[in-house]
A and B are shown apart, each in its own frame.
Chain A
Amino acid sequence: DQQVKQNSPSLSVQEGRISILNCDYTNSMFDYFLWYKKYPAEGPTFLISISSIKDKNEDGRFTVFLNKSAKHLSLHIVPSQPGDSAVYFCAASFMDSNYQLIWGAGTKLIIKP
């Protein structure tokens, strides 16, 4: 039973436009949500996070939105750049499990020139 789901295996976006990556979760006890970015042959790198007590967090071109009632979060990248082409993972954690991270399967983002 996957507690964190990324239902789109891939997404293709034109350079300069907005990229929206989605993530759904089932456990309402999650207290933090994180996005990681992964290039081929490298490990994931942290991108942005959001606490469950907030509904938005912004860092430059990246914004994460959290909708607790829908158990849904999204990552917006504006404007999209070629270097954004990567696999994006959504992850969630909750205190009662020693902050173990539960990961989605990832979405491959392709930015077309």
Chain B
Amino acid sequence: EAQVTQNPRYLITVTGKKLTVTCSQNMNHEYMSWYRQDPGLGLRQIYYSMNVEVTDKGDVPEGYKVSRKEKRNFPLILESPSPNQTSLYFCASSFGGGGNQPQHFGDGTRLSIL
């Protein structure tokens, strides 16, 4: 089954404790992206990757890191999480970055930073 898998689905942690949210896709997609969803703001892009070893900042990259060492994986790293990073996070992938290439989303990761 074609899917984007995120882990964990839920996490409550404390300020400053490094965490990684994993994302894996099995569709051989080149393009992967991380978003955060906050009430009243829709989805905002954090980072995206056009292919292996190619990453770039989205609209809200501060406080986040990513890596793309393999085509299927695109982890999101919070080196020193802060309460303003409490949010719902989505990973997405598609064959290309074009608007005519619909993105496939994972089911989300709800992070609470205390």
| Shortest distance from the beta carbon of A102 to any chain B beta carbon, whole Å | 8
Among the listed A32, A33, A34, A43, which residue makes an inter-chain contact with B90, where contact means beta carbons less than 8 Å apart?
A: A43
| Shortest distance from the beta carbon of A77 to any chain B beta carbon, whole Å | 18
Q: Report chain B residues within 8 Å CB of A104.
A: 42
Q: Does A41 touch B at the CB level, under 8 Å?
A: yes
Interface residues of A in 5-33 (CB under 8 A from B): 6, 31-33
Given that A43-B92, A89-B43 are known contacts, is A101 also in contact with B105, CB under 8 Å in the complex? no
Q: Mark each residue of chain A from 31 to 53: 1 if its CB lies under 8 Å from any CB of chain B, else 0.
A: 11110000001111110010100
Q: Does B103 touch A at the CB level, under 8 Å?
A: yes
- Asked if A44 contacts B98 (CB within 8 A), the reply is no
Total cross-chain contacts (CB, 8 A) = 66
Given that A42-B108, A43-B107 are known contacts, is A100 also in contact with B102, CB under 8 Å in the complex? no
Chain B residue with the shortest CB-CB distance to A104: B42
Chain B interface: which of A59-67, A68-76, A78-86, A91-99? Answer: A91-99
Measured in the bound complex, the distance between the Cα atoms of B102 and A23 in whole Å is 18
Q: Report chain B residues within 8 Å CB of A4.
A: 42
| A: interface residue count bin | 20 to 34
- Asked if B41 contacts A44 (CB within 8 A), the reply is no
- Asked if B105 contacts A45 (CB within 8 A), the reply is yes
Measured in the bound complex, the distance between the Cα atoms of B90 and A12 in whole Å is 27
Given that A42-B107, A44-B105 are known contacts, is A101 also in contact with B41, CB under 8 Å in the complex? no
Q: Report chain A residues within 8 Å CB of B48.
A: 98, 100
- Asked if B45 contacts A43 (CB within 8 A), the reply is no
Q: Report chain A residues within 8 Å CB of B104.
A: 46
Of residues B43, B98, B107, which shows the largest number of chain A Cβ atoms within 10 Å of its Cβ?
B43
Chain A residue with the shortest CB-CB distance to B40: A105
Chain A residue with the shortest CB-CB distance to B42: A103
Q: Report chain B residues within 8 Å CB of A32.
A: 98-100
Measured in the bound complex, the distance between the Cα atoms of B42 and A101 in whole Å is 11
B interface with A by C-beta (< 8 Å): 4, 35, 40-45, 48, 50, 56, 58-59, 90, 92, 96-108
- Counting from the closest, the 5 A-B pairs by CB-CB distance are A32-B99, A43-B105, A93-B99, A46-B102, A103-B42
